[in-house]
Structure 1
Amino acid sequence: MARYGITPGKAYGVSIPVLRRTVKGPGKNHELAMKLWEADTQETRVLASMVDDVSQVTGEQMDEWVKEFDYREICDQCCMNLFEDHLHAYDKAIEWSHGDEEFVKRSGCNDGKTCRE
């Protein structure tokens, strides 16, 4: 995983395809997503991005989660699974693309590519 920039503090080694199959049952659930995020493992955070209800996600939540990104996979999964469908996704992308922190900036850039000013 480290070879691909996946360096979570805690991980169980469950693959993304298995996680995707797991979320087909429960559907969207904001409260569950918040609990999964707080569990703070690679898999629970990816699952949180998959099950959260974008209509209940606030801009504050987006900013808080982005500040906690510490490796590429969680950044990219949250952006693709959740943030890109948010009403304010474009505004957040512009805001984050001017950030100084690596993963805040990455969250604002198209497809995780390096931003150019």
Structure 2
Amino acid sequence: MISPSSSAAELIAHLQTLRSEDNIAGMARFGIVTETAIGISNPDLQRIARLAKKDHIRAMALWASGIREARLLALYTFDPKNLTEAEARTLAADFNSWEIVDCAADLFVDAGLDALIPDFAADEREFVRRTAFAMIAGAAVHRKTDPDESLLAYLPLIEAHCSDNRNFVRKAVNWALRNIGKRNRTCHGQALPLAERLAASTDKTPRWIGKDAVRELTSEKLLARLG
């Protein structure tokens, strides 16, 4: 029985009982790194996390196992109020998958670790750089009370890294730009001109980022929602 008192070892043992080779094969088709995977879906892991509750020390032990599902469970059960910048940097050094990055980015946003974004963006490691832009994308949606200026300040960072042609970076840069532009009319008014400028680039990577963002930011559905 999973409970808040369950240890990391007990949780991992429970995860192992849920192993699915079919799920592992399916995950690989979505670009998920499966070398250490057990084959448990994220909704199922989230249900386990709700039973296990937050436990910061135990989450560190889960992360140290290196197992995909244990690491996701760690990210779901870290206490964001207690997560430090140093701990976030330690986690980021292990990132090797887009799904781990995107889950961790939500945690880092909840923890208010915005100061890491410029450092992560400057980092040459693909998944660390992706983290910066996944954090921006997440903040644009989830941090509804943040002033618009805090998000618009990331537009130069987006422009600075729009030529990184690595798949998981360019998609995250695009994601960040689109989410800022979809936030409200004020943000849209500054994100769309950047998207249009990138769309006119002779470099194929910023051109793809820009064209895709322009397509969404000029859609009738979005413009109607923004009013």
After TM superposition, is the score higher than 0.5? yes
1:85 to 100, 103, 110: 110
Q: Who is 1:108 aligned against?
A: 132
Superposed CA RMSD in Å reads 1.6
Structure 2, unpaired ranges of 5+: 1-26, 138-170, 175-205, 207-227
Q: Which has the higher helix share?
A: 2
Q: CA deviation at 1:108?
A: 0.3
- 1:15-57, CA deviations, whole angstroms, 9 ceiling, x for partnerless residues? 0000011111221110110110011111000000000111221
Structure 1, unpaired ranges of 5+: none
Separation (CA, whole Å) in 2 of partners of 1:31 and 1:7: 25
Change (3 A) 1:72 1:34: same
Q: Who is 1:68 aligned against?
A: 94
Tell me if structure 2 keeps the 8 A contact 1:8–1:70. no
The structure with the largest alpha-carbon Rg is 2
Q: Who is 2:120 aligned against?
A: 96
Structure having greater relative contact order (Cα 8 Å, sep ≥ 6): 1
Q: CA deviation at 1:114?
A: 2.7
Separation (CA, whole Å) in 2 of partners of 1:48 and 1:113: 23
Separation (CA, whole Å) in 1 of partners of 2:71 and 2:122: 25
1:52 to 78, 83, 91: 78
Aligned structure 1 segments of 4 or more residues deviating by more than 3 angstroms: none
Q: Who is 2:67 aligned against?
A: 41
1:5-20 alignment to 2 at 5 Å?
Answer: 5-20=31-46
* Counterpart residue identity of residue 97, structure 1: A
What is the total number of aligned residue pairs between the two structures? 114
Q: CA deviation at 1:5?
A: 2.0
Separation (CA, whole Å) in 1 of partners of 2:96 and 2:109: 19
Separation (CA, whole Å) in 2 of partners of 1:71 and 1:25: 26
- 1:92-112, CA deviations, whole angstroms, 9 ceiling, x for partnerless residues? 112211211100100000346
Q: Who is 2:29 aligned against?
A: 3
- 1:55-106, CA deviations, whole angstroms, 9 ceiling, x for partnerless residues? 22111110011111011111111112x111113x211112211211100100
* Counterpart residue identity of residue 98, structure 1: A
